[in-house]
Structure 1
Amino acid sequence: MTNSEEVVVEPELADEEALEEGEARAEILQIQIPEALAGERLDKALARCAPALSRTAIQRLLALQAVWQQAAAQSADATAWQAVRSDKEKVKAGQWFALHIPAPVPMALQAEEIPLAILYEDKDLLVVNKPAGMTVHPGAGPDGWRGTLVNALLFHCRDSLSGIGGVERPGIVHRLDKETSGLLVVAKNDGAHHHLSAQFAVHSSERQYLAIVKGVPEVTGTVVAPIGRHPKERQKMAVVANGRAAVTHFRRLESWGGCALLACRLETGRTHQIRVHLAHRGFPLLGDPLYSRPFTPPQRWPQAEREIVAAFARQALHAARLGFTHPKSGERLQFQVEPPEDFQQLLQALRTVS
């Protein structure tokens, strides 16, 4: 196909609140037929336009009446859509089709004997130190339903987890990204879950993170910028005018070699909030695969330190402090945990070259 005959494919998420990377979500794929495919059978043309879907998958969607054709071929915004019933229909150039791709059917969650670093536990809640690389709850694909924090909690707590989060997120009050390490509180019953969630909603809980960023920001600062899904790259979030209100406070603790260590405090809890806000201010997290470019250490640095910094392949973010009021006793609980070894090695390498 020539550039003038490019296929127009416009994906939309049916669930705009689906937040985690890799999380299962329904999708609507809008496709406009190019000149080069005029006269082809519908199933064949759609398979050509959507390489991620096999012809068999398209035929299955047709059988489910999940493929819709727009009555007016001139615009993707018209409202007159109708289900297509035959895969043998011949397509015309300029026609619009919408493929309603359902989210994967949830699998049964299995308890797994995965070690947990538990800092505190009673009959109402527990506080864990999540390692980097562990997903909090199940996501898309068969492998996304194994090895998560929820799998580990099901084994450790058995039936003692709140059900408010649904079958995929028992006990989960708040989340950390897969590659972010640090503190999480988990509810063991619905009463505790309600109480803890309310504290997060009114910002009476305390969440402080350590972040290593590229660049050296001012000593203290606050980012007030709404966050929503990125308009083009759907796996990312971004500062957007119609996003949800988000506030991040930061304080510079150290700086060296064109990088800095920040303490970040959240007022709100939006997806990727610290990562998005700091990148928006021009200080992206070191190692962040979504919001930062790779950091190349200067040649003048010692080889050992250059290798440590270059090898750090996740966002340099650690949930270091967590504070909240106990839902039953009313006692104020405060927890603090040191960053994991790879984060500390990165810190030491940067301090060495300062």
Structure 2
Amino acid sequence: MAQQIELKSTVKESQLGQRLDQAIAELFDEFSRSRLKEWLLAGKVSVDGAVVTKARVRVMGGEDIVVLAEIEDEERWEAQDIPLDIVYEDEDLLVINKPRGLVVHPGAGTPDGTVLNALLHHYPQIAEVPRAGIVHRLDKDTTGLMVVAKNVPTQTRLVRTLQKRRITREYEAIAIGKMTAGGMVDKAIGRHSTKRVLMAVSEFGKPAITHYRVAERFREHTRIRLRLETGRTHQIRVHMSYLQHPLLGDIAYGGRARIPKGATEELTTMIRSFDRQALHAVMLKFVHPTTGEEMQFHAPVPDDMIEMAEALRQDMRDNYEDEY
């Protein structure tokens, strides 16, 4: 059974001159570019009230875009018995603590073995919800909290709440370099100009705001807490790289190993072998879309990040007099 959907948005001034297919891909990035283009060519997209079927039409900024389409049930994806760490569940939603190495949604190179496949096994009725109820994503090797809707009304309300920046998401991370103070990064993020699988700060991208504060300083690293206002792909990783403080282990965005002077062999090995971005979604807070109750969840920092922080802390103690 197909789900009827209606998407609405307004072309931003920063998108002046973009092709229509590119513009809607940015406006409705919860759907794939190929799916959006199919809808466009099938006459499912209107611009200022008029149906447009040509992808190469240029936008000027300010146009009202409406997409009226159907989404087939997610039956083509297989339910798989993959363990889920469920922090909370009721009849409308569930909150999970995602481990490292688990992709959220099937895609190129990862046709199954994802959070979505696990959700279909845990709650088969979720196949009736677009994207199996997934409201926001975490990168494959980022750990921590995600909220998932179990029915269409809940998903619609959660998506709107997220768009209005009323879902609080806090992260714990270890960044490379000595950060002196916290702050805010207000820099738009778009697709990297040459490395298409990566993102980058771009004046033509979507607005992205990240708040951060210093939690603990080490000799050549800093433990930080971050809060997202927006939820762009790779947002924290891109913004920290922009500040020249990429995350420990994040080779894609410049997080190459930095060894403190005089570090022990054990610490040197730990730093060089840390093989994922040191990033964990530690807190999630939102108003329940059905009950109106404010809900807040916490996920303990995983062992690999705890052990790394303790090793850096011990290095700090061992070298305190030399540094200060």
Q: What interval of TM-score do these two structures reach, taking the shorter chain for normalisation?
A: 0.7 to 0.9
Q: Following TM superposition, by how much is the alpha carbon of 1:25 offset from its aligned partner in structure 2, in angstroms?
A: 6.1
* Aligned counterpart, 2:80: 112
CA distance in 2, matches of 1:300, 1:162: 57
TM-score w.r.t. structure 2 length? 0.74
1:298 Cα deviation after fit: 3.6
1:131 aligns with 2:93: no
Query: How has the CA–CA distance of structure 1 residues 220 and 294 changed in structure 2, closer, same or farther, with 3 Å as cutoff?
Result: closer
Residue 162 of structure 1 contacts residue 193 of structure 1 at CA under 8 Å; is this kept in 2? no
Distance 1:262 1:162, change over 3 A: farther
Partner of residue 157, structure 1: 123
Map of 1:224-303 to 2, 5 A cutoff? Answer: 224-298=186-260, 300-303=262-265
Deviation of 1:24 (Å): 7.6
Residue identity matched to 1:221 = G
CA shift digits 1:278-333 (9 cap, x unpaired): 11011111110210142142461122222111110111110000001111110000
Q: Which secondary structure state, in structure 2, belongs to the residue aligned with residue 136 of structure 1?
A: coil
Alpha-carbon distance between aligned partners in 2 of 1:226 and 1:210, rounded to the nearest angstrom: 22
Q: Indicate yes or no: 2:284 matched with 1:329.
A: no
CA contact (8 A) 1:119 1:127 kept: yes
Say whether the 8 Å CA contact 1:297–1:309 is kept in structure 2: yes
Cα offset, 1:226, TM superposition = 0.6
Aligned residues: 256
Task: Return 5+ residue gaps in structure 1 as ranges.
Answer: 1-11, 27-78, 80-105
CA RMSD in angstroms, aligned pairs only? 2.3
Is contact 1:24–1:140 with CA below 8 Å preserved after alignment?
no
Give SS of 2:247's match: coil
Q: Secondary structure at the match of 2:170?
A: strand
1:305 aligns with 2:271: no
Answer yes or no: is the 8 Å Cα contact 2:126–2:132 preserved in 1: no
C-alpha contact (below 8 Å) 2:178/2:219 kept by paired residues: no
Shift in Å, 1:159: 1.2
Contact 1:192 1:328 in 2 (8 A): yes
Counterpart residue number, 1:177: 139
> Quick one: which amino acid aligns to residue 320 of structure 1?
V
Q: Distance in 2 between matches of 1:136 and 1:249?
A: 24
Rounded to whole Å, the distance in 2 between the matches of 1:347 and 1:151 is: 33
Paired with 1:341 and 1:311, the residues of 2 have a C-alpha distance of 15
1:138 partner amino acid: P
What is the aligned partner in structure 2 of residue 199 from structure 1?
Answer: 161
Determine which structure has the larger helix proportion and give its number. 2
1:19 is displaced (CA, Å) by 6.9
Shift of 1:258: 1.1
Deviation at 1:338, TM superposition (A): 1.0
Q: Which residue type is aligned with residue 303 of structure 2? A: E
